[in-house]
Amino acid sequence: MSSPTPQLQDSLLQGALAAGIGAQAEKVFAGKRLSRDDGLALYACDDIHLVGGLANFVRERLHGDHAFFNVNQHINYTNICNKLCRFCAFQRLPGQEGAYVMSPEEVGAKIRECLDEPVTEVHMVAGIYPKLPYEYYLDILRAVKDVRPDIHIKAFTMIELMQIAVRAKKPLQEVLPELIEAGLGSCPGGGAEVFADRVHLEGYHLKNTGDQWIETARTVHEAGLKSNATMLHGHIETVEERVDHLDRLRLLQDETGGLQCYIPLSFHPENTEWSHLPGPTGLEELREIALGRLMLDNVPHIKAYWIMLGIPMAQLALSYGANDVDGTVVEERIYHDAGATTPQAVERSELLRWIRDAGRIPVERDTIYNVLWSEDAQAQASCSTDAEAATTS
Ligand code: SF4
C-alpha cells in the first residue's frame, strides 16, 4: 500500500503555513487529535484544496489507494411519516397521493427481483408510521432472510429503532436481540441530521434530538451491532454546529468503537419546506468530506455517497478524504424525491470504472468491511487492519 511521501508532507506544510493552518497541519502529520478550534480554523481556511490535501494525506495513510464499494440493494418499506422534517421530500401522510407501505411479501418480492445479482447487502430504511405493529418490523427482516439467507441486512435508523421500541412496549435493549434474531445485521447512519438543539427545534422538532440519537446509537453498539453516522449539511446550520456534531460523534466512538463509517449528506432543497435555501455548493461538499476525515480520527471510513454527490463529485471526493463510494443501490427513492438527478442504480462494472478513473484501486467489501474482492492482492491483507489502525490513532 502506498503512503504519503515526505515531499508531499513538506509541500502541504508550506502551503498550510502560508494559509494560516500550519498548527493544524502539524497535528495531522503527527497523528494528533484536532480540537474544536482546529476544526473551526479548517472551516475558515479559504483554500479548500489545501484542506482536502491534508484530508487526503490521512486517507492515504489509512487506506493507501484503496477505495471501497459494495453491491447493495435499497428498500424503503414505507414513505408514510409523522415527523414532518422540513428538509424531507420523501415523507407522505396516510392517504396522501403517493403514500405507500410495503407488505412483508412485497419486501420479499423486491429481494427476489435481484436474486441474479451478486448483492451482499440490503439497506432498509423508511418513514415513521405509528400504525405499523412491532411484528411488522420482525416480519420484513424475516421476509428478506427467507428469500436470501446470506444477505446482510443493514436496517433502521435511530429514529426508527426508537419507534420500534415504542411499538414493542419494551426497552430497546430488549428489542435489539429480537431484531437480530429476525435477521438484523447492522444499522445505517441516517437521521442524525445536525445534533444542535437550535437546528433540531427549527427544522425537525418532532424527530429525535441529538442526545437521543447518540443514546440510541450507544445502545445499538452495546448490543454488538455496528452502525454508520451521518450529518445533513448545507441548510441552516452554522459552522460551529457542524464542529459540535463531529466532536460528539468522535466522543461516542471513543466510548463504543461502534461507528464504521461517517457519511456527510448534502441537503437537497427541491420539494422540501426549505426549497428557498440554496443547498451546498460542490466545494462545500468536498470540505465536509475533508473535515469528516480530519476530525473523526477514530472512525475508519469516510463515504462519498454518490447518490447525493453525483458521480463526478464522488470521484473527486476520493482525493479529499473519502475512501468509500457506497454501492450499486438499486432504486433509491429518498434523495430522488428531493430532486437528485443521479441514476437510481449503477452496475458493478460502472462503479469499478469510476473508481479506477479517479486513480484509486477498487475493493469490494461487505457491510462490515470484510474484503470480498480486489484487483490488488495486498488489499485482502491490509484493508482488514485499516479499521484497527484508525481506531487506535
Ligand atoms: S427525514 Fe425521516 S423522519 Fe423526517 S420526515 Fe423524512 S422520513 Fe420522516
285 three-state secondary structure: helix
Q: Which of 341, 340, 346 is nearest to 328 (CA)?
A: 346
Q: Residue 91 C-alpha to ligand 1 middle, in angstroms?
A: 6
What confidence tier does 348 reach under pLDDT thresholds 50, 70, 90? Answer: confident
Is the pLDDT confidence value at 392 over 50?
Answer: no
Q: Which of 199, 210, 207, 341 is nearest to 274 (CA)?
A: 199
Ligand 1: residue whose CA is nearest its atom 1: 88
Residue 33 DSSP class = P
C-alpha cell at 112: 427476489
Mean pLDDT for the chain overall: 93
Ligand 1 neighbourhood includes 91 CB (under 6 angstroms): yes
Q: Residue 199 C-alpha to ligand 1 middle, in angstroms?
A: 15
Q: Which of 155, 146, 97, 93 is nearest to 123 (CA)?
A: 155
Degrees (nearest 5) of the Cα angle 295, 299, 305? 90
- DSSP assignment string, 150-214: T-EEEE--HHHHHHHHHHHTS-HHHHHHHHHHHTEEEB--TT-----HHHHHHH-TTS--HHHHH
Q: Give CA–CA dist 15/76, Å, rounded.
A: 45
Other residues' Cβ atoms within 10 Å of the Cβ of residue 112:
13
Exposed / middle / buried, residue 99 (Cβ in 10 Å: 0-12, 13-18, 19+): middle
| Parallel, antiparallel or unpaired: strands 66-70 and 324-327 | parallel
pLDDT higher for 271 or 388?
271
To the nearest 10 degrees (0 to 180), the angle between helices 158-168 and 172-182 is 100
Look-up of cell digits 435493549: 173
Q: Give CA–CA dist 62/55, Å, rounded.
A: 11
pLDDT digits (tens, 9 = 90+) for 298-338: 999 999 999 889 889 999 999 999 999 988 877 656 656 66
Phi, psi of 107 (to 5 degrees): -60, -45
The predicted pLDDT at position 127 comes to 98
Residue 324 DSSP class = E
Evaluated on CA atoms 181, 182, 184, 190, the torsion sign reads: negative
What residue type is assigned to position 227 of the chain?
S
92 three-state secondary structure: strand
pLDDT digits (tens, 9 = 90+) for 108-140: 999 999 999 899 999 999 999 999 999 999 999
Ligand 1 neighbourhood includes 81 CB (under 6 angstroms): yes
What share of the chain has pLDDT > 70, as a percent?
91
Is the pLDDT confidence value at 378 over 80?
Answer: no
Query: Which DSSP helix (H) or strand (E) runs through 265?
Result: strand 259-266
Ligand 1 neighbourhood includes 127 CB (under 6 angstroms): yes
Is the pLDDT confidence value at 248 over 60?
Answer: yes
Q: What is the CB-side half-sphere exposure of residue 24 using CA atoms within 13 A?
A: 29
Query: Which DSSP helix (H) or strand (E) runs through 264?
Result: strand 259-266
Buried b (16+ CB within 10 A) or exposed e, 73-93: bbbbbbbbbebebebbbbbbe
Is the pLDDT confidence value at 7 over 70?
Answer: yes
Q: Give CA–CA dist 41/31, Å, rounded.
A: 18
Q: Which of 76, 91, 157 most suits a substitution to test ligand 1, by most atoms within 8 Å of the C-beta?
A: 91
Q: Residue 48 C-alpha to ligand 1 middle, in angstroms?
A: 32
Phi, psi of 95 (to 5 degrees): 85, -15
Q: Residue 308 C-alpha to ligand 1 middle, in angstroms?
A: 17
CB 233 within 8 A of CB 264: yes
pLDDT higher for 264 or 335?
264
The predicted pLDDT at position 387 comes to 43
Q: Residue 382 C-alpha to ligand 1 middle, in angstroms?
A: 38
Residue 303 DSSP class = B
C-alpha cell at 189: 447512519
Evaluated on CA atoms 6, 284, 127, 113, the torsion sign reads: negative
pLDDT digits (tens, 9 = 90+) for 161-186: 999 999 999 999 999 999 999 999 99
Other residues' Cβ atoms within 10 Å of the Cβ of residue 343:
15
What residue type is assigned to position 140 of the chain?
I
Residue 331 DSSP class = S
Ligand 1 neighbourhood includes 207 CB (under 6 angstroms): yes
Ligand 1: residue whose CA is nearest its atom 2: 127
Q: Give CA–CA dist 294/34, Å, rounded.
A: 7
What share of the chain has pLDDT > 90, as a percent?
85
